[in-house]
């Protein structure tokens, strides 16, 4: 057997002291170390003896485990392995870093898309070149074609009152010949009636587009005239226009164009 060098024994002793374990006396190594384990009662070291009075603890080890001089309970291998392991694999770092951004973007997709709210004039432009096909006869920018020119103030000249222009679009050439004549123009026909295919709101929209956008007319001159819109409820009972719809249209014009439209009498 090889001798255990003194400095090693000394180190063992101080380690055991530090852990509060009984320290063996001199050079008789293993045998003395085993003593406290064997003696539950009197034989053991002072520390072990007091330990028996205590409920339980690392200070007073008992049983063969203590003999093996293993101070701390060994960790299960899988726990040790988990302590050595890096928590997140390096390759996953960018993925983890991007997660908040992804979450943010994903949350964004959950919200309903923002609706672009068109102004009356903008909606009127869509009616003009879209379903109503006014553009097909009057030109994309109102320059005229089959139908007369609407740009350059022309339409507003024919109908100084914007609601007369609304009436005209509702009636067309067939129903509105008298209106056209009253405006000092001889109807040659060819303008379709839109009362059935367009709502009152759409007609107001397209008239606003023609007067304000195409003809460059000053809306301030029309403000008083727009109040006549309320007359259409009784004038066209077959169309079923309601005061509620008209009030809403007037509110929108006031809000969007910044003009005062006289209240109903």
Closest distance of CB 240 from ligand HEC, Å: 19
Task: State the sign of the Cα–Cα–Cα–Cα dihedral 37, 38, 44, 45.
Answer: negative
Residues 156-195 that bind ligand HEC (CB under 6 A): 158, 165, 168-169, 173, 180, 185, 187-192, 194
Which of 176, 157, 178 lies closest to 166, judged by CA? Answer: 176
Q: Is 132 in the site for ligand HEC (CB under 6 A)?
A: yes
Among 47, 154, 193, 254, contact with ligand HEC (rule: CB under 6 A): 154
| CA distance readout (Å), 252 to 108, 109, 199, 213, 220 | 31, 31, 16, 17, 15
Q: What are phi and psi of 227, to 5 degrees?
A: -65, -25
Residue 140 exposure: Cα atoms within 13 Å on the Cβ side: 0
Query: Tokens in use for 186?
Result: 């001889």
Among 40, 147, 152, 175, contact with ligand HEC (rule: CB under 6 A): 147
Cβ partners under 8 Å of residue 116, min gap 6: none
Closest distance of CB 234 from ligand HEC, Å: 23
Question: With respect to ligand HEC, which residue has the nearer C-beta, 179 or 227?
Answer: 179
Closest distance of CB 120 from ligand HEC, Å: 14
Residues 197-216 that bind ligand HEC (CB under 6 A): 206, 210
Closest distance of CB 204 from ligand HEC, Å: 11
Closest distance of CB 214 from ligand HEC, Å: 10
Part of the chain binding ligand HEC (CB under 6 A), chosen from 16-24, 131-139, 230-238, 257-265: 131-139
Using CA atoms, how far apart are residues 44 and 51, in angstroms rounded to an integer?
Answer: 10
Cβ partners under 8 Å of residue 225, min gap 6: 160, 161, 162, 163, 164
Cβ partners under 8 Å of residue 183, min gap 6: 158, 159, 164
Closest distance of CB 235 from ligand HEC, Å: 18
Q: Taking CB under 6 A as the rule, which mask of x and - marks residues 6-45 in contact with ligand HEC?
A: ----------------------------------------
Query: Tokens in use for 228?
Result: 């006549």
Query: Tokens in use for 137?
Result: 């006869």
Q: Is 146 in the site for ligand HEC (CB under 6 A)?
A: yes
Contact residues for ligand HEC, defined by CB under 6 A:
132-134, 136-138, 146-148, 150, 154-155, 158, 165, 168-169, 173, 180, 185, 187-192, 194, 206, 210
């Amino acid at each position: 057997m090889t001798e255990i060098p003194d400095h090693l024994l000394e180190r063992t002793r101080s380690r055991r002291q530090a852990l509060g374990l009984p320290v063996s006396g001199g050079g008789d190594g293993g045998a003395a170390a085993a003593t406290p384990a064997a003696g539950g009662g009197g034989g053991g070291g002072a520390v072990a003896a007091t330990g028996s009075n205590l409920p339980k603890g690392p200070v007073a080890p008992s049983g063969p485990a203590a003999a093996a001089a293993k101070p701390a309970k060994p960790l299960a291998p899988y726990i040790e392995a988990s302590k050595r392991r890096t928590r997140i694999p390096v390759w996953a770092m960018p993925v983890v870093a991007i997660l908040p951004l992804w979450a943010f973007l994903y949350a964004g997709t959950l919200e309903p898309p923002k609706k672009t709210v068109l102004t009356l004039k903008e909606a009127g432009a869509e009616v003009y070149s879209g379903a109503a096909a006014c553009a097909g006869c009057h030109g994309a920018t109102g320059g005229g074609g089959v139908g007369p020119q609407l740009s350059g103030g022309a339409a507003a000249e024919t109908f100084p009152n914007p609601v007369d222009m609304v009436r005209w679009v509702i009636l067309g050439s067939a129903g509105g010949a008298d209106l056209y004549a009253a405006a000092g123009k001889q109807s040659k026909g060819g303008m379709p009636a839109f009362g059935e295919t367009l709502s009152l709101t759409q007609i107001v929209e397209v008239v606003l587009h023609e007067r304000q956008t195409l003809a460059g007319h000053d809306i301030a001159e029309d403000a008083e005239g727009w109040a006549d819109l309320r007359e259409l409820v009784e004038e066209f009972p077959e169309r079923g226009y309601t005061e509620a719809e008209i009030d809403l249209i007037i509110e929108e014009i006031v809000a969007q164009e910044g003009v005062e439209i006289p209240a109903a009498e």
